[in-house]
């Protein structure tokens, strides 16, 4: 009879009994509702032991690779240690190790956590200026490649966080981190699948991390990155991404701008980003799609991708909400 460790409790799960039923039988407080794997309110995380495949049916791949599963569908096949989804409220101190401007209004900020801080490239983290003022930014760094956390912050004049970060933060300055959050990251498992990365402005930050993570994992499928900006100066990693595309045969960089400038390179398209992304070539159906940036653009692209044949389970979204909503900043 499998033994499941939940906090300080040891729960024996009888044959034919779900883990959720066993936990409730023993008086454990576990969120639940439908008990049929639909509402996903009984989501738990495996810290040790093997998760039965059926317990992850219906979950995004990004959940599965982190060990999340549904307790109502879990019939343990061996001993396990499980917990509720991670507590994201713990703040971790971090130190600024580098800062520079990537464009006129995009600050690249690199931080080194002063204690362990596991994450996946493309997730987002809340940076705290003080006890009450925080902003969330996506991670452009890759843990296997970088010994720092990298953020691309759009500097807004008089912005309570972004302008402060540009004006006040220096190498050696400290602030607090909270997270990580989000499920918009590369997950191995379909190395031959085509990947579409689509974003505007600093929506490039998580896409850049996901791209590097996929290439580091030797992803074999074609990878297309569509990055849009108002003007050429907003294509702030243009040279680096163009050079990367020249080195990697399966990576293709598609920059575009709304307004042409004098001397604009012929390889930069002019027009709205959605004119160039999600076209018949590269294909949409069967692709894994990442959409990052302004919520209006992201939601419109998600709808177009679905109507073009993409599975909703293969569409990963990171919508940058304005600071008036729980501080998810662009």
Q: Give the pLDDT confidence score for residue 108 in this predicted structure.
A: 98
Q: Give the pLDDT confidence score for residue 22 in this predicted structure.
A: 97
Percent of the chain at pLDDT > 90 equals 65
Find, among 22, 20, 15, the residue nearest to 32 by Cα. 20
Domains in the chain, please, with CATH?
3-83 (3.10.20.30), 91-181 (2.40.30.10), 195-319 (3.40.50.80)
Let me know if 274 is exposed, middle or buried by CB neighbors in 10 A (0-12, 13-18, 19+): middle
The pLDDT tens digits for 90-120 are 688 999 999 999 988 999 999 999 998 989 9
The pLDDT tens digits for 5-33 are 998 999 999 999 999 999 999 999 887 76
Q: What CA–CA distance (Å, rounded) separates 293 from 290? A: 10
The pLDDT tens digits for 281-319 are 557 888 999 999 988 999 999 999 998 888 888 999 988
- Which of 39 and 54 is assigned the larger pLDDT? 54
Please check whether residue 184 is in contact with residue 207, taking contact to mean a CB–CB distance below 8 angstroms.
Answer: no
Per-residue pLDDT band at 73 (split at 50, 70, 90): very high
- Which of 3 and 84 is assigned the larger pLDDT? 3
Q: Give the pLDDT confidence score for residue 119 in this predicted structure.
A: 92
pLDDT at position 38 over 90: no
> Any bridge partners for residue 108, and if so which?
100, 152
SS3 content of the chain, % helix, strand, coil (to 5): 20, 30, 50
Q: Give the pLDDT confidence score for residue 323 in this predicted structure.
A: 58
Per-residue pLDDT band at 89 (split at 50, 70, 90): very low
- Strand ranges across the sheet with 43-48: 9-12, 3-6, 80-83, 43-48, 68-70
The pLDDT tens digits for 311-326 are 888 999 988 876 544 3
Please check whether residue 18 is in contact with residue 71, taking contact to mean a CB–CB distance below 8 angstroms.
Answer: yes
Q: What's the count of helices (H) and strands (E) in the chain, helices before strands?
A: 6, 17
pTM here is 0.73
Picking from 5-9, 62-66, 236-240, which range would have the lowest pLDDT averaged per residue? 62-66
Q: What is the residue-averaged pLDDT of the chain?
A: 89
Q: Give the pLDDT confidence score for residue 324 in this predicted structure.
A: 44
- Which of 277 and 97 is assigned the larger pLDDT? 97
The pLDDT tens digits for 178-198 are 878 888 999 887 788 999 999
The pLDDT tens digits for 138-178 are 999 999 999 999 999 999 999 999 999 999 999 999 999 98
């Amino acid at each position: 009879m499998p033994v499941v460790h939940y906090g300080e409790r040891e729960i024996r799960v009888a044959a034919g009994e779900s883990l959720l039923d066993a936990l409730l039988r023993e008086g454990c407080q576990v969120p639940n509702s439908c008990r049929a794997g639909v509402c996903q309110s009984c989501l738990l995380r495996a810290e040790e032991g093997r998760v039965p495949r059926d317990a992850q049916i219906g979950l995004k791949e990004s959940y599965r690779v982190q060990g999340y599963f549904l307790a109502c569908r879990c019939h343990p096949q061996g001993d396990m240690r499980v917990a509720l989804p991670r507590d994201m409220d713990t703040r971790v101190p971090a130190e600024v190790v580098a800062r520079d401007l990537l464009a006129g209004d995009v600050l690249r900020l690199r931080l080194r956590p002063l204690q362990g801080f596991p994450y996946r490239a493309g997730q987002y983290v809340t940076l705290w200026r003080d006890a009450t003022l925080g902003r969330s930014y996506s991670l452009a760094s890759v843990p296997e490649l970088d010994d720092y956390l990298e953020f691309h912050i759009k500097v807004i004049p008089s912005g309570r966080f972004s302008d402060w970060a540009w004006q006040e933060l220096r190498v050696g300055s400290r602030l607090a981190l909270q997270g990580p959050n989000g499920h918009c990251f590369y997950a191995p498992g379909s190395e031959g699948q085509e990947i579409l990365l689509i974003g505007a402005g600093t929506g490039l930050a998580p896409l850049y991390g996901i791209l590097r993570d996929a290439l580091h994992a030797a992803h074999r499928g074609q990878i297309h990155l569509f990055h849009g900006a108002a003007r050429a100066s907003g294509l702030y990693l243009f040279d680096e991404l163009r050079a990367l595309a020249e080195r990697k045969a399966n990576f293709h960089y598609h920059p575009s701008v709304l307004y042409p400038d004098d001397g604009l390179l012929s390889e930069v398209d002019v027009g709205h980003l959605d004119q160039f992304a999600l076209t018949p070539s590269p294909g949409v159906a069967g692709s894994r799609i990442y959409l990052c940036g302004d919520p209006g653009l992201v939601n419109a692209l998600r709808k177009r991708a679905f109507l073009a044949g993409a599975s909703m389970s293969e569409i990963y979204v990171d919508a940058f909400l304005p600071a008036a909503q729980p501080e998810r900043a662009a």
